[in-house]
Chains A and B, each alone.
Chain A
Amino acid sequence: MINYRSSRDLDWPLLVLALAISGLGILQIYSATAGTIWGDTWWKQMLFVVAGLAAMHVIARIDYHRLLEAAPALYLGGLALLLAVLLFGRQVFGSQRWIPLPGGFTFQISEFVKLILILLAARYLSELRGDRPTLRDLWKLGALVALPMALVMKQPDLGTSLTYAAIGGAGVFFAGLRWQHAVALALLFVLVLPVGWTLLKDYQKARLISFLNPGSDPLGSGYQVIQSKIAVGSGGMWGKGVARGSQTQLRFLPVAHTDFIFSAFAEEHGFVGVAVVLTLYFLLLMQIVQNAQSAPDRAGMYVCMGVGALLLFHLLVNVGMLVGRMIVTGVPLPLMSYGGSSVLTVFMMLGLVNNVRLQRFVN
């Protein structure tokens, strides 16, 4: 089991970056929730980070080839759990995403399915015979990704299901998508769009419309984006100071400790703070890419790039939403947003990256 030389070989820069971001996240959670009913979330988040570190170590120690072998079984288990969530899950804020755990914690299966999909895609793509995936390969992979997507969409959780597509898409991209296929997929997407529109829930449609024109319904779905932009913009260059952001403190900013945490951060720390944190994320992603480049095999590369692509997608969609450049999808900001399942999943993904890194010394 212990197939790396020492903890010295862990990716320490990656770990430091992740902990720095988490730490800033905890501070911001504290600031945004002080004096509210969520006042205890900051220390819960600390627990999640500690638990995440432990989970990361566990994941890092298991040879990822074994995990890849277990991927189909994990995938089936994940599907079963997603189905169970739909059938027996606990409903919060109108969607059914959580499985209750003893101790008052809830468990969001769809977060962990991201891990499973990364592994599954890595395994599937690394075992392809040809140099490039054939159309048939694409169909198969598409079906594998579409199944959990559909289940999560049903919860309904558009954001998370889109992250699955991001994992699949990134994998296909690295496997070497033929440009003809890319064009075909793009055409298919355009054709499916009107059909997909009818499948969307009303609130999802409203979000799309209000993304295109936030003023159309400022107190409905556009409200969140408008308030977020006000929070961000009023922060200015240097920010209003910790716990002094009126948008955050007076709760004009919705869910300021989860999806909109970075708006709260931007209000209180200004453009300078934003630049610092985005730089941290940038370095984190670069570190992951670097691990992908030094992976011992294609599967390792796929795993690392899957993790990187997923985090990039999260960053783009979440932060893009805060400044009004992305549709509101309810995707958390990795490591900063409050949420046990999300924090654990991200640290486990970092565990995968470390795992791949450690494997390069084996052979």
Chain B
Amino acid sequence: MPLLPPEPDHEQEIIRHPPRRVQREDTNFAAGRVAVVQYAVLGVFVFLLSGFWELQVHRPDYYSEAAERNRIKSQPVLAPRGKILDRDGRVIVDNRSSFSLLLSRENLRFEHLAPIAEGLGLEYDELAAKLKRYDRTRPKYEAMVIKEELSASDLAFVESHRDTGTFPEMELTNSHRRLYPQGGLAAHVIGYVSEVSEAELNTAEFARYKPGDVVGKAGIERMYNDLLMGVDGQRQVQVDNMGRERLVLGVKEATPGRTLQLTIDLDLQVVAELAMEGRRGAVVALDPRNGEVLAMVSRPAFDPNKFAGRIRSRDWKEITSNPDNPLLNRAIQAQLAPGSTFKPIVALAGLETGVLEPGFGVSCGGGASFYGRYFKCHLKHGHGRTELRKGLAQSCDVFFYTLGNRLGIDRIAQYAGLAGFGQKTGIDLPHEAEGTVPSTKWKIRNFRQKWYAGETISVAIGQGALTVTPLQLAYAMGGLATGGVWQRPHLLREQMYTPTKNVTPPAPARKADLTVENLIQVIDGLYAVVNEGGTGGRARLVGVEVCGKTGTAQLASNEALKNTKLGLALKDNAWFFGFAPRQSPEIVVAALFEAGEHGNLAAPIVRDVIKAYFDKKSRQTPRPPLLAQAPAPTPGPGGEAPE
């Protein structure tokens, strides 16, 4: 650098006359600190690299799993419940598709539960409890259904809140909602479905299900829940951060539930429903040859559609606070005194035991005294000379008081038991009632008291402690009508039993060794009830030999009620059972018309069902119609009178 002027000595210059602005040139002053920076750079490099080492080399599996959890969502593919068909294959219960909301438990943040519950109008506590149980019992990757049947506003809430930033744990899925007939048609037979409750999950019956599952709660839906439910499938999808599906990784299809075919005949069911419209009571129609339930009605009914998914509390309150208890299946759960419909059993007992000898008869003067008490006949002026046929046809109480008194309670109870009273028929519906057949043993067992002979008198006309269900009545009388063969009533068509292992077919028929002549005598009496001026004339049909029996059952002693307000509320229950044809009957129908006052008012209900049966049969067979254009039957004298 010879061309350049010699460098001034800066230090000297500063000392001599320090300039205001000097750009100092000695860069070595900071050499040490620059070296520090070099080490700092190295330190940062190591610091950062170690951070990556920790994540990528030390624990990559942990983060790979997290990435997979982000990416892959596993959704259940809900299996549709099996349909329910009537005996002709007509659909009674169908499904329709709707949206359900799933909660992905892997991604769930517990504090999101409250806003989600609020957004969907769910109870937070309920939801939290459900979640807790789910966590205990099911693997984490399984999502939980928290709401079915999403409304438009629910859908809007879900769509706008399920991105990664808000509530990514919400997932939509297609589900199937139960579609029941309107107006509560066959509601008690079918039952209803609803979300399985906490309490139910603790029971053996529902232990195999998981929270959020929709299960049968009553009727066929409950009885055959395992068959109807099917098996949920699963879908694995790749989603993006907005929860949008990008790729389907795998699908395990759902196995739909089995379609059930019932023995119910919708044609008969509708007729029975209409006959009971606005009334309280029940109708049961059986085919006594095989035990198939052709129709079963209980009124008042409920709308099972309201239960599908999640019932609104208002609807639930309305149903449960109804004093008539619409949820009660009266056909199998109403246990009431059968009244005079019980008389054929007493008659049979008399014949079989020989107590009712040929020529046995009474002279009815409107009542009789037994054990110091006067028992009235329903006909004030009496029936006069009465033997068995007239006793049944006119339903003479004095005849049966006398017969019952001679039989004694235990022989009556024996034949009542033989006919199927006092025990479950074994129908494939939950919660069937047994009814009560009193006996000396029964009284000692239940009351620790001896039986008083006077009590037998009431039981002989179907009163007192005796109670039966409408189904038992149809079952018992069907057995008598077919010569002592009681086919177990059932609702599932026979062909359903064979291919399915986990359905138990009905128990074999019970048979009793009864004398045919005795049965014919009783059945002749029942024929007379309808066709020979008896109390059941209203059940008469032209072309079909209908047999039957009325019953007017008191809820309490009329005398006791006379001066009370309850007297009106506790009107007599009207009963009627009928079967046809007289020889080789094909249908037996029992009707209970609560507070119907007179048994003969229940008779038309039975007649309508029997008529519908034979009308249909004649339409289906090439024979000319039996009942078409036939002149209206004229009721016999006294036919309209109450028994």
Contacts and interface: CB of A to CB of B under 8 A. Distances in A.
A250 B71 contact: yes
Given A250-B241, A266-B56, A289-B37, 16 more contacts: A173-B33, A230-B63, A233-B59, A233-B67, A234-B66, A235-B56, A237-B57, A250-B71, A250-B239, A251-B242, A270-B56, A274-B52, A286-B41, A296-B27, A298-B29, A363-B4
B37 A251 contact: no
B431 to A, nearest CB: 48
Interface stretch (A108-116, A145-153, A320-328): A320-328
Given A230-B63, A233-B63, A252-B164, A271 B56 contact: yes
**Size bracket, chain A contacts:** 35 or more
Contacts of A301: 27, 30, 34
Given A173-B33, A297-B25, A323-B55, A236 B41 contact: no
B515 interface: no
B374 interface: no
A175 B27 CA distance: 11
A234 B67 contact: yes
A201 B241 CA distance: 27
Interface in B475-506: none
Contacts of B323: none
B56 A232 contact: yes
Interface in B54-77: 54-57, 59-60, 62-64, 66-68, 70-71
Nearest to A177: B33
B31 A293 contact: yes
A233 B165 contact: no
Contacts of A275: 49, 52
A247 interface: yes
Contacts of B33: 173-174, 176
B52 A298 contact: no
Interface string B428-450: 00000000000000000000000
A234 B64 contact: yes
Nearest to B242: A251
B60 A236 contact: yes
Band of interface residues on B:
35 or more
A278 B70 contact: no
A173 B35 CA distance: 12
B63 A229 contact: yes
Given A173-B33, A323-B54, A233 B41 contact: no
Interface in B67-99: 67-68, 70-71
Nearest to A122: B23
Interface of A: 65, 68, 126-127, 129, 131, 173-176, 218-219, 223, 227, 229-237, 246-247, 250-252, 266, 270-271, 274-275, 278-279, 281-282, 285-286, 289, 292-293, 295-301, 305, 308-309, 312, 315-316, 319-320, 322-325, 363
A289 B41 contact: yes
Interface in B273-329: none
B34 A305 contact: yes
Contact of A219 (B67, B68, B71, B166): B166
A54 B23 CA distance: 29
A48 to B, nearest CB: 25
B20 to A, nearest CB: 9
A45 to B, nearest CB: 23
A234 B240 contact: no
Q: Which 4 A-B pairs have the closest CB atoms?
A: A233-B63, A323-B51, A234-B67, A233-B55
Contacts of B60: 233-237
Contact of A218 (B47, B53, B109): B109
Contacts of B122: none
A253 to B, nearest CB: 8
A140 to B, nearest CB: 15
A309 B37 contact: yes
A250 B165 CA distance: 14
13 contacts: A219-B165, A233-B59, A246-B67, A246-B71, A247-B71, A274-B49, A281-B45, A286-B41, A297-B25, A297-B27, A312-B41, A323-B48, A323-B55
B52 A236 contact: no
A312 B40 contact: yes
Interface in B579-606: none
A236 B47 contact: no
A175 B246 CA distance: 57
B251 interface: no
A298 B240 CA distance: 54
B551 to A, nearest CB: 70
A363 B24 CA distance: 14
Interface in B230-258: 238-242, 246
B5 to A, nearest CB: 10
A65 B52 CA distance: 41
B51 A320 contact: yes
A233 B34 contact: no
B53 to A, nearest CB: 7
A295 B26 CA distance: 9
A219 B55 contact: no
Given A174-B30, A252-B164, A299-B23, A289 B38 contact: yes
B228 to A, nearest CB: 39
B633 interface: no
Contacts of A270: 56
Contact of B52 (A247, A266, A296, A300): A266
B637 interface: no
A232 B55 contact: yes
A251 B48 CA distance: 24
A271 B52 CA distance: 7
Contacts of A234: 60, 63-64, 66-67
Contacts of B31: 293
Nearest to A247: B67
B44 interface: yes
A319 B37 contact: no
Contacts of B166: 219
A214 to B, nearest CB: 12
B52 A323 contact: yes
Contact of A296 (B25, B29, B38, B45): B25
A176 B66 contact: no
A219 B164 contact: yes
B569 interface: no
A323 B51 CA distance: 6
Interface string B162-198: 0011101000000000000000000000000000000
Most buried by A among B67, B166, B242: B67
Given A223-B165, A293-B27, A230 B21 contact: no
B560 interface: no
A175 B44 CA distance: 22
A316 B29 contact: no
Contacts of A227: 70
Contacts of B240: 250-252
B109 A219 contact: yes
Given A271-B53, A298-B25, A299-B23, A176 B64 contact: no
A298 B23 contact: yes
B66 A233 contact: yes
Contacts of B38: 286, 289
A236 B21 CA distance: 56
A278 B48 contact: yes
Contacts of A247: 67, 70-71
A126 B24 contact: yes
A199 B52 CA distance: 33
Given A230-B70, A237-B60, A250-B239, A295 B52 contact: no
A264 B189 CA distance: 61
B238 A250 contact: yes
Contacts of A230: 63, 66-67, 70
Nearest to B169: A219
B25 to A, nearest CB: 4
B109 to A, nearest CB: 7
